[in-house]
Structure 1
Amino acid sequence: MATPVTFAAPHAFLGARPDDRGAAVCVAGVPLDIGTTNRAGTRDGPRAIRAAARMLTDGRHPETGVDPTALDLSDLGEFEIALGDIPESLRLIEAQATGLNHLLAFGGEHGVTLPLLRALTRRIGGPVGLVHMDAHLDTSEDNFGQRFAHGSVFWHAITEGLVDPKRMIQVGIRAPAWPEMYAWTRGQGVTILSAQEVHESTPAAIAARVREVVGSGPAYLSFDIDALDPAFAPGTGTPEVGGLASWQAQGILRRLKGLDFRGADVVEVAPAYDTAEITALAAATMAWEYLCLTAPAA
Protein backbone atom coordinates (compact mmCIF):
# COMPACT_ATOMS: atom_id res chain seq x y z
CA MET A 1 0.00 0.00 0.00
CA ALA A 2 1.37 3.40 -0.96
CA THR A 3 2.22 5.93 1.74
CA PRO A 4 -0.55 8.58 1.83
CA VAL A 5 0.29 12.18 1.10
CA THR A 6 0.82 14.17 4.28
CA PHE A 7 -2.53 15.95 4.31
CA ALA A 8 -4.34 12.63 3.87
CA ALA A 9 -2.42 10.82 6.63
CA PRO A 10 -4.47 9.11 9.36
CA HIS A 11 -5.23 11.24 12.41
CA ALA A 12 -3.53 8.80 14.79
CA PHE A 13 0.09 9.65 15.59
CA LEU A 14 2.22 8.44 12.64
CA GLY A 15 -0.79 6.43 11.49
CA ALA A 16 -0.54 4.04 14.45
CA ARG A 17 -3.33 1.50 14.85
CA PRO A 18 -5.91 2.48 17.48
CA ASP A 19 -6.63 1.25 20.98
CA ASP A 20 -4.28 -1.68 21.47
CA ARG A 21 -3.02 -1.54 25.05
CA GLY A 22 -0.90 -4.61 24.43
CA ALA A 23 1.28 -2.91 21.82
CA ALA A 24 5.00 -2.66 22.46
CA VAL A 25 4.74 1.14 22.37
CA CYS A 26 1.59 3.16 23.03
CA VAL A 27 0.88 6.82 22.40
CA ALA A 28 -1.75 8.66 24.45
CA GLY A 29 -2.90 12.21 24.96
CA VAL A 30 -3.32 13.54 28.50
CA PRO A 31 -5.43 16.72 28.14
CA LEU A 32 -5.07 18.08 31.68
CA ASP A 33 -4.29 21.79 32.13
CA ILE A 34 -6.00 22.96 35.31
CA GLY A 35 -2.71 23.07 37.25
CA THR A 36 -1.13 25.73 35.06
CA THR A 37 0.16 28.92 36.67
CA ASN A 38 0.06 31.20 33.62
CA ARG A 39 -1.82 30.56 30.36
CA ALA A 40 -4.08 27.53 30.13
CA GLY A 41 -4.87 25.70 26.89
CA THR A 42 -2.62 22.65 26.84
CA ARG A 43 -5.69 20.42 26.93
CA ASP A 44 -5.65 20.88 23.14
CA GLY A 45 -1.98 19.95 22.84
CA PRO A 46 -2.37 16.23 22.03
CA ARG A 47 -4.62 16.85 19.04
CA ALA A 48 -2.31 19.56 17.73
CA ILE A 49 0.74 17.29 18.03
CA ARG A 50 -0.99 14.49 16.18
CA ALA A 51 -2.08 16.84 13.40
CA ALA A 52 1.42 18.26 12.96
CA ALA A 53 2.89 14.74 12.88
CA ARG A 54 1.47 14.25 9.38
CA MET A 55 4.72 15.90 8.21
CA LEU A 56 6.68 12.95 9.64
CA THR A 57 4.92 10.04 7.95
CA ASP A 58 6.67 9.99 4.57
CA GLY A 59 10.21 8.85 5.22
CA ARG A 60 12.90 7.47 7.51
CA HIS A 61 15.29 9.21 9.86
CA PRO A 62 17.72 11.26 7.74
CA GLU A 63 20.81 10.19 9.73
CA THR A 64 20.13 6.65 10.89
CA GLY A 65 17.56 5.40 8.40
CA VAL A 66 15.37 4.27 11.28
CA ASP A 67 11.64 4.04 10.59
CA PRO A 68 9.65 4.57 13.81
CA THR A 69 6.48 3.28 12.12
CA ALA A 70 8.21 -0.12 12.13
CA LEU A 71 7.54 -0.23 15.85
CA ASP A 72 4.61 -2.19 17.24
CA LEU A 73 2.79 1.11 17.82
CA SER A 74 -0.74 1.97 18.93
CA ASP A 75 -2.46 5.29 19.57
CA LEU A 76 -4.82 5.01 22.54
CA GLY A 77 -6.43 8.40 22.02
CA GLU A 78 -6.98 10.64 25.04
CA PHE A 79 -6.84 9.55 28.66
CA GLU A 80 -9.88 10.34 30.79
CA ILE A 81 -9.55 13.12 33.37
CA ALA A 82 -11.85 14.46 36.10
CA LEU A 83 -13.10 17.94 35.21
CA GLY A 84 -11.80 20.51 37.70
CA ASP A 85 -10.27 17.93 40.06
CA ILE A 86 -6.47 17.61 39.96
CA PRO A 87 -5.99 14.76 42.51
CA GLU A 88 -8.73 12.66 40.92
CA SER A 89 -7.33 13.39 37.45
CA LEU A 90 -3.90 12.22 38.57
CA ARG A 91 -5.45 9.03 39.93
CA LEU A 92 -7.26 8.38 36.65
CA ILE A 93 -4.15 9.05 34.56
CA GLU A 94 -2.08 6.68 36.67
CA ALA A 95 -4.72 3.96 36.36
CA GLN A 96 -4.88 4.31 32.59
CA ALA A 97 -1.08 4.26 32.24
CA THR A 98 -0.77 1.16 34.44
CA GLY A 99 0.16 -2.01 32.59
CA LEU A 100 1.33 -0.40 29.36
CA ASN A 101 4.61 -1.75 28.01
CA HIS A 102 6.04 1.60 26.94
CA LEU A 103 4.14 4.88 26.85
CA LEU A 104 4.82 8.07 24.94
CA ALA A 105 2.38 10.65 26.31
CA PHE A 106 1.37 14.05 24.93
CA GLY A 107 0.32 16.72 27.44
CA GLY A 108 -1.36 18.57 28.74
CA GLU A 109 0.53 20.43 31.41
CA HIS A 110 3.69 19.12 33.02
CA GLY A 111 1.80 17.85 36.05
CA VAL A 112 0.73 14.82 34.00
CA THR A 113 4.26 13.43 34.33
CA LEU A 114 3.73 12.60 38.00
CA PRO A 115 1.06 9.90 37.56
CA LEU A 116 2.89 8.55 34.51
CA LEU A 117 6.01 8.07 36.65
CA ARG A 118 3.96 6.52 39.42
CA ALA A 119 2.58 3.92 37.02
CA LEU A 120 5.94 3.25 35.38
CA THR A 121 7.99 2.86 38.55
CA ARG A 122 5.42 0.57 40.09
CA ARG A 123 5.62 -1.64 37.00
CA ILE A 124 9.43 -1.82 36.85
CA GLY A 125 9.86 -1.96 40.62
CA GLY A 126 11.97 1.10 41.33
CA PRO A 127 12.96 4.65 40.43
CA VAL A 128 14.16 5.82 37.04
CA GLY A 129 16.80 8.20 35.82
CA LEU A 130 15.34 11.32 34.25
CA VAL A 131 16.23 13.46 31.25
CA HIS A 132 14.23 16.63 31.84
CA MET A 133 14.29 19.30 29.13
CA ASP A 134 12.60 22.49 30.29
CA ALA A 135 12.90 26.20 30.99
CA HIS A 136 11.80 25.63 34.59
CA LEU A 137 13.08 23.57 37.51
CA ASP A 138 9.57 22.33 38.41
CA THR A 139 10.81 21.48 41.91
CA SER A 140 8.64 23.85 43.93
CA GLU A 141 6.99 22.17 46.88
CA ASP A 142 3.80 23.85 45.74
CA ASN A 143 2.81 26.56 43.28
CA PHE A 144 0.92 29.48 44.79
CA GLY A 145 -0.55 27.13 47.39
CA GLN A 146 -1.61 24.46 44.86
CA ARG A 147 0.07 21.23 45.88
CA PHE A 148 -0.11 19.55 42.47
CA ALA A 149 0.46 22.42 40.06
CA HIS A 150 2.68 21.90 37.04
CA GLY A 151 5.67 23.58 38.69
CA SER A 152 5.86 21.06 41.54
CA VAL A 153 5.90 17.82 39.56
CA PHE A 154 9.53 16.89 40.21
CA TRP A 155 9.46 17.86 43.88
CA HIS A 156 6.83 15.15 44.22
CA ALA A 157 8.66 12.74 41.92
CA ILE A 158 11.85 13.04 43.96
CA THR A 159 10.23 12.96 47.40
CA GLU A 160 8.07 9.98 46.40
CA GLY A 161 11.14 8.07 45.23
CA LEU A 162 9.95 7.83 41.62
CA VAL A 163 13.13 9.41 40.28
CA ASP A 164 16.73 8.81 41.33
CA PRO A 165 17.91 12.43 41.64
CA LYS A 166 21.55 11.44 41.20
CA ARG A 167 20.54 10.12 37.77
CA MET A 168 18.43 13.16 36.91
CA ILE A 169 19.57 15.95 34.59
CA GLN A 170 17.69 19.13 33.69
CA VAL A 171 18.59 20.77 30.37
CA GLY A 172 17.64 24.29 29.24
CA ILE A 173 16.81 25.83 32.62
CA ARG A 174 16.62 29.63 32.55
CA ALA A 175 13.41 30.88 34.18
CA PRO A 176 13.39 33.04 37.34
CA ALA A 177 13.37 30.91 40.48
CA TRP A 178 14.11 31.39 44.15
CA PRO A 179 17.67 30.48 45.20
CA GLU A 180 16.17 28.05 47.70
CA MET A 181 14.70 26.03 44.80
CA TYR A 182 18.08 25.74 43.13
CA ALA A 183 19.70 24.81 46.45
CA TRP A 184 17.09 22.15 47.22
CA THR A 185 17.27 20.67 43.73
CA ARG A 186 21.05 20.49 43.63
CA GLY A 187 21.05 19.27 47.22
CA GLN A 188 19.11 16.18 46.13
CA GLY A 189 21.86 15.40 43.61
CA VAL A 190 20.18 16.71 40.46
CA THR A 191 22.41 18.01 37.65
CA ILE A 192 21.21 21.32 36.18
CA LEU A 193 22.40 22.56 32.78
CA SER A 194 21.21 26.07 32.04
CA ALA A 195 20.20 27.20 28.57
CA GLN A 196 23.27 29.41 28.52
CA GLU A 197 25.49 26.41 29.17
CA VAL A 198 23.84 24.63 26.24
CA HIS A 199 24.42 27.64 23.98
CA GLU A 200 28.08 27.80 24.95
CA SER A 201 28.55 24.08 24.29
CA THR A 202 27.55 21.64 21.54
CA PRO A 203 24.76 19.08 21.26
CA ALA A 204 27.38 16.33 21.29
CA ALA A 205 28.93 17.56 24.55
CA ILE A 206 25.55 18.06 26.22
CA ALA A 207 24.42 14.59 25.16
CA ALA A 208 27.63 13.13 26.56
CA ARG A 209 26.91 14.80 29.89
CA VAL A 210 23.34 13.46 29.84
CA ARG A 211 24.63 9.95 29.20
CA GLU A 212 27.18 10.29 32.01
CA VAL A 213 24.52 11.33 34.53
CA VAL A 214 21.77 8.92 33.52
CA GLY A 215 23.98 5.89 33.11
CA SER A 216 22.79 2.44 32.14
CA GLY A 217 19.70 2.04 34.32
CA PRO A 218 16.04 2.55 33.38
CA ALA A 219 15.33 6.13 32.31
CA TYR A 220 12.49 8.45 31.36
CA LEU A 221 12.40 11.49 29.06
CA SER A 222 10.20 14.45 29.94
CA PHE A 223 10.30 17.16 27.27
CA ASP A 224 8.56 20.42 28.12
CA ILE A 225 8.19 22.33 24.87
CA ASP A 226 9.15 25.57 26.65
CA ALA A 227 12.69 24.20 26.75
CA LEU A 228 12.72 25.73 23.28
CA ASP A 229 12.97 29.48 22.84
CA PRO A 230 9.62 31.18 22.05
CA ALA A 231 11.02 31.94 18.59
CA PHE A 232 10.75 28.20 17.92
CA ALA A 233 7.83 27.34 20.22
CA PRO A 234 5.53 30.29 20.99
CA GLY A 235 2.53 28.06 21.63
CA THR A 236 3.04 27.30 25.29
CA GLY A 237 1.69 28.50 28.60
CA THR A 238 4.85 29.86 30.22
CA PRO A 239 7.30 30.94 27.51
CA GLU A 240 10.79 32.05 28.59
CA VAL A 241 13.25 33.87 26.34
CA GLY A 242 16.81 32.63 25.83
CA GLY A 243 15.89 29.01 25.24
CA LEU A 244 17.18 26.23 23.07
CA ALA A 245 16.83 26.29 19.33
CA SER A 246 14.95 23.35 17.89
CA TRP A 247 18.11 22.11 16.17
CA GLN A 248 19.95 22.03 19.52
CA ALA A 249 17.26 19.94 21.21
CA GLN A 250 17.04 17.67 18.20
CA GLY A 251 20.81 17.26 18.13
CA ILE A 252 20.91 16.31 21.80
CA LEU A 253 18.12 13.73 21.46
CA ARG A 254 19.72 12.14 18.42
CA ARG A 255 22.79 11.34 20.49
CA LEU A 256 20.95 9.50 23.27
CA LYS A 257 20.59 6.19 21.45
CA GLY A 258 21.27 3.29 23.78
CA LEU A 259 19.92 4.82 26.97
CA ASP A 260 17.40 2.50 28.59
CA PHE A 261 14.33 4.66 28.09
CA ARG A 262 11.16 3.09 29.47
CA GLY A 263 8.78 5.94 28.61
CA ALA A 264 8.51 9.60 27.72
CA ASP A 265 6.24 12.60 27.50
CA VAL A 266 6.12 15.82 25.48
CA VAL A 267 4.10 18.44 27.34
CA GLU A 268 2.94 22.06 27.56
CA VAL A 269 1.91 22.59 23.93
CA ALA A 270 -0.86 25.22 23.94
CA PRO A 271 -1.99 25.58 20.30
CA ALA A 272 -4.12 28.68 20.91
CA TYR A 273 -0.88 30.66 21.21
CA ASP A 274 0.91 28.93 18.35
CA THR A 275 1.95 30.49 15.05
CA ALA A 276 1.76 28.53 11.79
CA GLU A 277 1.78 25.27 13.79
CA ILE A 278 5.50 25.59 14.56
CA THR A 279 5.19 24.63 18.23
CA ALA A 280 3.07 21.57 17.49
CA LEU A 281 5.48 20.51 14.76
CA ALA A 282 8.45 20.94 17.09
CA ALA A 283 6.71 18.78 19.71
CA ALA A 284 5.75 16.12 17.17
CA THR A 285 9.31 16.07 15.88
CA MET A 286 10.80 15.62 19.36
CA ALA A 287 8.36 12.73 19.90
CA TRP A 288 9.35 11.27 16.53
CA GLU A 289 13.04 11.58 17.43
CA TYR A 290 12.33 9.76 20.70
CA LEU A 291 10.61 6.89 18.89
CA CYS A 292 13.57 6.69 16.51
CA LEU A 293 15.77 6.05 19.58
CA THR A 294 13.67 3.02 20.47
CA ALA A 295 13.01 1.69 16.95
CA PRO A 296 15.11 -1.11 15.46
CA ALA A 297 18.08 -0.10 13.31
CA ALA A 298 17.55 0.12 9.57
Structure 2
Amino acid sequence: MSTLGHQYDNSLVSNAFGFLRLPMNFMPYDSDADWVITGVPFDMATSGRAGGRHGPAAIRQVSTNLAWEHNRFPWNFDMRERLNVVDCGDLVYAFGDAREMSEKLQAHAEKLLAAGKRMLSFGGDHFVTLPLLRAHAKHFGKMALVHFDAHTDTYANGCEFDHGTMFYTAPNEGLIDPHHSVQIGIRTEFDKDNGFTVLDAGQVNDRSVDDVIAQVKQIVGDMPVYLTFDIDCLDPAFARVPVRR
Protein backbone atom coordinates (compact mmCIF):
# COMPACT_ATOMS: atom_id res chain seq x y z
CA MET A 1 0.00 0.00 0.00
CA SER A 2 1.57 3.27 -1.14
CA THR A 3 1.11 6.02 1.43
CA LEU A 4 3.87 8.51 0.59
CA GLY A 5 5.58 9.79 -2.51
CA HIS A 6 7.30 12.82 -3.94
CA GLN A 7 6.27 12.25 -7.57
CA TYR A 8 2.57 11.78 -6.87
CA ASP A 9 1.50 13.73 -3.85
CA ASN A 10 -1.31 15.97 -2.65
CA SER A 11 0.42 18.89 -4.32
CA LEU A 12 -2.54 21.24 -4.09
CA VAL A 13 -2.19 21.33 -0.32
CA SER A 14 1.38 20.12 0.30
CA ASN A 15 4.68 21.93 0.73
CA ALA A 16 8.10 21.43 -0.82
CA PHE A 17 9.92 22.02 2.48
CA GLY A 18 9.91 20.30 5.84
CA PHE A 19 8.62 21.44 9.21
CA LEU A 20 11.18 23.80 10.79
CA ARG A 21 13.11 23.28 7.54
CA LEU A 22 13.98 19.78 8.68
CA PRO A 23 15.12 17.39 5.96
CA MET A 24 12.47 15.69 3.83
CA ASN A 25 12.57 11.90 3.58
CA PHE A 26 9.89 10.12 1.56
CA MET A 27 11.22 6.69 2.57
CA PRO A 28 11.34 7.10 6.36
CA TYR A 29 10.70 3.48 7.31
CA ASP A 30 14.28 2.34 6.67
CA SER A 31 15.91 5.63 7.66
CA ASP A 32 17.93 6.31 10.81
CA ALA A 33 15.34 8.85 12.01
CA ASP A 34 14.17 8.80 15.62
CA TRP A 35 11.03 10.84 14.90
CA VAL A 36 9.03 11.18 11.69
CA ILE A 37 6.65 14.04 10.92
CA THR A 38 3.62 13.25 8.77
CA GLY A 39 1.03 15.66 7.40
CA VAL A 40 -2.55 14.42 7.08
CA PRO A 41 -4.45 16.87 4.83
CA PHE A 42 -7.99 15.68 5.62
CA ASP A 43 -11.15 17.57 6.56
CA MET A 44 -14.06 15.37 5.47
CA ALA A 45 -15.08 14.58 9.06
CA THR A 46 -15.64 18.15 10.19
CA SER A 47 -19.11 19.29 11.24
CA GLY A 48 -18.70 22.74 9.76
CA ARG A 49 -16.42 24.65 7.44
CA ALA A 50 -13.81 22.73 5.47
CA GLY A 51 -10.20 23.85 5.19
CA GLY A 52 -8.39 21.68 7.73
CA ARG A 53 -6.74 19.89 4.80
CA HIS A 54 -4.53 22.96 4.47
CA GLY A 55 -3.34 22.57 8.07
CA PRO A 56 -0.10 20.64 7.45
CA ALA A 57 1.04 23.11 4.80
CA ALA A 58 0.16 26.09 7.01
CA ILE A 59 2.01 24.64 10.00
CA ARG A 60 5.12 23.99 7.93
CA GLN A 61 5.04 27.45 6.38
CA VAL A 62 4.70 29.25 9.71
CA SER A 63 7.41 27.04 11.22
CA THR A 64 9.99 28.45 8.82
CA ASN A 65 9.85 31.69 10.83
CA LEU A 66 11.15 29.76 13.84
CA ALA A 67 13.70 27.60 12.06
CA TRP A 68 16.53 30.12 12.34
CA GLU A 69 16.59 29.95 16.16
CA HIS A 70 17.99 26.55 17.01
CA ASN A 71 17.86 27.02 20.78
CA ARG A 72 14.39 27.92 22.05
CA PHE A 73 14.45 30.02 25.22
CA PRO A 74 14.72 29.02 28.04
CA TRP A 75 15.92 25.55 26.95
CA ASN A 76 19.59 25.82 26.08
CA PHE A 77 19.86 22.99 23.58
CA ASP A 78 19.25 22.35 19.91
CA MET A 79 16.65 19.62 19.35
CA ARG A 80 18.44 18.57 16.17
CA GLU A 81 21.57 17.73 18.14
CA ARG A 82 19.64 15.31 20.37
CA LEU A 83 17.17 13.72 17.96
CA ASN A 84 17.21 12.78 14.31
CA VAL A 85 13.90 14.14 12.99
CA VAL A 86 12.70 14.00 9.38
CA ASP A 87 9.55 15.18 7.62
CA CYS A 88 8.09 12.57 5.28
CA GLY A 89 5.59 14.94 3.69
CA ASP A 90 1.85 14.34 3.50
CA LEU A 91 -0.17 11.15 3.44
CA VAL A 92 -1.25 10.32 -0.11
CA TYR A 93 -4.87 9.23 -0.51
CA ALA A 94 -7.79 9.91 -2.84
CA PHE A 95 -9.41 13.16 -1.70
CA GLY A 96 -13.04 12.35 -1.03
CA ASP A 97 -12.35 8.85 0.31
CA ALA A 98 -12.36 8.99 4.11
CA ARG A 99 -12.06 5.24 4.48
CA GLU A 100 -8.96 5.12 2.30
CA MET A 101 -7.39 7.93 4.32
CA SER A 102 -8.08 6.06 7.56
CA GLU A 103 -6.70 2.76 6.29
CA LYS A 104 -3.61 4.30 4.72
CA LEU A 105 -2.82 6.43 7.77
CA GLN A 106 -3.09 3.43 10.08
CA ALA A 107 -0.88 1.34 7.78
CA HIS A 108 1.70 4.14 7.56
CA ALA A 109 1.78 4.55 11.34
CA GLU A 110 2.04 0.81 11.96
CA LYS A 111 5.01 0.59 9.59
CA LEU A 112 6.81 3.49 11.26
CA LEU A 113 6.22 2.16 14.77
CA ALA A 114 7.36 -1.34 13.78
CA ALA A 115 10.59 0.26 12.54
CA GLY A 116 11.18 1.85 15.95
CA LYS A 117 10.17 5.39 14.97
CA ARG A 118 8.05 7.87 16.91
CA MET A 119 5.46 10.03 15.18
CA LEU A 120 4.45 13.68 15.13
CA SER A 121 1.37 14.09 12.94
CA PHE A 122 -0.28 17.29 11.66
CA GLY A 123 -3.95 17.43 10.68
CA GLY A 124 -6.29 17.96 9.19
CA ASP A 125 -9.40 17.66 11.28
CA HIS A 126 -9.16 15.84 14.58
CA PHE A 127 -10.67 12.62 13.26
CA VAL A 128 -7.22 11.62 12.00
CA THR A 129 -6.43 10.75 15.62
CA LEU A 130 -8.54 7.58 15.50
CA PRO A 131 -6.50 5.63 12.91
CA LEU A 132 -3.35 6.84 14.65
CA LEU A 133 -4.66 5.53 17.98
CA ARG A 134 -5.43 2.18 16.37
CA ALA A 135 -1.87 1.89 15.10
CA HIS A 136 -0.30 2.95 18.39
CA ALA A 137 -2.49 0.62 20.46
CA LYS A 138 -1.53 -2.26 18.20
CA HIS A 139 2.12 -1.49 18.95
CA PHE A 140 2.01 -0.35 22.60
CA GLY A 141 -1.22 -1.88 23.92
CA LYS A 142 -3.95 0.08 25.68
CA MET A 143 -2.83 3.66 26.31
CA ALA A 144 -3.55 6.71 28.42
CA LEU A 145 -4.78 9.75 26.49
CA VAL A 146 -3.72 13.33 27.23
CA HIS A 147 -6.05 15.48 25.15
CA PHE A 148 -6.03 19.28 24.79
CA ASP A 149 -9.27 20.55 23.25
CA ALA A 150 -12.31 22.79 23.66
CA HIS A 151 -14.52 19.70 23.16
CA THR A 152 -14.30 16.19 24.63
CA ASP A 153 -15.00 14.51 21.26
CA THR A 154 -16.87 11.73 23.06
CA TYR A 155 -20.15 12.05 21.17
CA ALA A 156 -22.00 8.88 20.15
CA ASN A 157 -23.83 9.88 16.98
CA GLY A 158 -23.33 6.67 15.00
CA CYS A 159 -21.34 8.38 12.24
CA GLU A 160 -18.30 6.43 11.04
CA PHE A 161 -16.28 9.53 10.16
CA ASP A 162 -16.87 12.42 12.55
CA HIS A 163 -14.35 14.64 14.30
CA GLY A 164 -16.42 14.61 17.49
CA THR A 165 -16.58 10.86 18.09
CA MET A 166 -13.00 9.54 18.29
CA PHE A 167 -12.80 9.37 22.06
CA TYR A 168 -16.13 7.61 22.30
CA THR A 169 -14.96 5.00 19.79
CA ALA A 170 -11.42 4.55 21.12
CA PRO A 171 -12.37 3.27 24.62
CA ASN A 172 -14.99 0.97 23.08
CA GLU A 173 -12.30 -0.52 20.84
CA GLY A 174 -9.95 -0.94 23.82
CA LEU A 175 -7.41 1.55 22.46
CA ILE A 176 -7.31 3.86 25.50
CA ASP A 177 -8.24 3.63 29.17
CA PRO A 178 -10.43 6.64 30.07
CA HIS A 179 -9.70 6.17 33.78
CA HIS A 180 -6.04 6.94 33.08
CA SER A 181 -6.81 9.71 30.58
CA VAL A 182 -7.29 13.45 30.95
CA GLN A 183 -8.91 16.10 28.77
CA ILE A 184 -7.63 19.64 29.25
CA GLY A 185 -9.09 23.01 28.29
CA ILE A 186 -12.68 21.87 27.69
CA ARG A 187 -15.15 24.76 27.47
CA THR A 188 -18.27 23.06 26.12
CA GLU A 189 -20.91 20.73 27.58
CA PHE A 190 -19.83 17.11 27.95
CA ASP A 191 -20.94 13.74 29.31
CA LYS A 192 -19.60 13.46 32.85
CA ASP A 193 -20.05 9.68 32.95
CA ASN A 194 -17.56 8.60 30.29
CA GLY A 195 -14.70 7.97 32.73
CA PHE A 196 -12.28 10.68 31.59
CA THR A 197 -10.85 13.24 33.99
CA VAL A 198 -11.81 16.63 32.56
CA LEU A 199 -9.89 19.77 33.50
CA ASP A 200 -12.03 22.47 31.96
CA ALA A 201 -10.73 25.83 30.78
CA GLY A 202 -11.83 27.61 33.96
CA GLN A 203 -10.09 25.11 36.22
CA VAL A 204 -6.86 25.26 34.23
CA ASN A 205 -6.83 29.06 34.18
CA ASP A 206 -7.19 29.15 37.97
CA ARG A 207 -4.26 26.79 38.60
CA SER A 208 -0.54 26.83 38.02
CA VAL A 209 1.01 24.92 35.14
CA ASP A 210 3.06 22.83 37.57
CA ASP A 211 -0.08 21.87 39.50
CA VAL A 212 -1.88 20.73 36.35
CA ILE A 213 1.14 18.76 35.13
CA ALA A 214 1.43 17.00 38.49
CA GLN A 215 -2.22 15.91 38.31
CA VAL A 216 -1.86 14.71 34.72
CA LYS A 217 1.18 12.60 35.66
CA GLN A 218 -0.74 11.08 38.56
CA ILE A 219 -3.70 10.21 36.34
CA VAL A 220 -1.76 8.56 33.51
CA GLY A 221 0.52 6.64 35.86
CA ASP A 222 2.87 4.20 34.14
CA MET A 223 0.77 3.63 31.02
CA PRO A 224 2.05 4.55 27.56
CA VAL A 225 0.66 7.98 26.68
CA TYR A 226 -0.82 9.31 23.46
CA LEU A 227 -0.74 13.13 23.33
CA THR A 228 -3.12 15.05 21.06
CA PHE A 229 -3.95 18.73 20.53
CA ASP A 230 -6.93 20.39 18.88
CA ILE A 231 -6.22 24.01 17.96
CA ASP A 232 -9.37 25.25 19.68
CA CYS A 233 -7.91 24.43 23.10
CA LEU A 234 -6.16 27.78 22.71
CA ASP A 235 -7.66 31.13 23.65
CA PRO A 236 -10.35 31.81 21.01
CA ALA A 237 -9.04 35.37 20.72
CA PHE A 238 -6.07 33.84 18.90
CA ALA A 239 -7.44 30.56 17.52
CA ARG A 240 -11.17 30.49 17.01
CA VAL A 241 -13.16 27.24 16.92
CA PRO A 242 -12.51 26.06 13.37
CA VAL A 243 -15.85 24.33 12.77
CA ARG A 244 -18.09 27.39 13.09
CA ARG A 245 -18.87 29.82 10.30
Q: TM-score range by the shorter chain?
A: 0.7 to 0.9
Unaligned runs of 5+ in 2: 1-15
The equivalences for 1:1-298 within 5 A come to 11-19=17-25, 20-21=28-29, 22=31, 23-57=33-67, 58-70=69-81, 71-100=83-112, 101-124=117-140, 126-142=141-157, 146-177=159-190, 181-183=191-193, 185=194, 189-234=195-240, 236-238=241-243
- TM-score between both structures, scaled by the size of structure 1: 0.70
Q: Secondary structure at the match of 1:77?
A: strand
Q: Do 1:14 and 1:69's aligned partners in 2 also have CA atoms closer than 8 Å?
A: no
Q: Do 2:70 and 2:79's aligned partners in 1 also have CA atoms closer than 8 Å?
A: no
Q: CA RMSD in A?
A: 1.7
Give, in whole Å, the separation in 2 of the partners of 1:129 and 1:148: 22
Amino acid at match of 2:206: E
Q: Secondary structure at the match of 1:172?
A: strand
Unaligned runs of 5+ in 1: 1-9, 240-272, 274-298
The list of structure 1 runs, each at least 4 consecutive aligned residues, that deviate by more than 6 angstroms after superposition, is none
Q: Do 1:121 and 1:127's aligned partners in 2 also have CA atoms closer than 8 Å?
A: yes
Give, in whole Å, the separation in 2 of the partners of 1:134 and 1:80: 27
| Larger helix proportion of the pair | 1
Q: Do 1:31 and 1:81's aligned partners in 2 also have CA atoms closer than 8 Å?
A: no
Amino acid at match of 2:34: A
Q: Secondary structure at the match of 1:204?
A: helix
Write the deviation string for residues 188-239 of structure 1: whole angstroms up to 9, x where unpaired: x3110100101111111111111111123211110101001221213x5236
Write the deviation string for residues 14-46 of structure 1: whole angstroms up to 9, x where unpaired: 222212233210001001100000221100000
Give the total of aligned pairs. Answer: 220
Give, in whole Å, the separation in 1 of the partners of 2:95 and 2:17: 25
Give, in whole Å, the separation in 2 of the partners of 1:115 and 1:123: 13
Q: Secondary structure at the match of 2:192?
A: helix
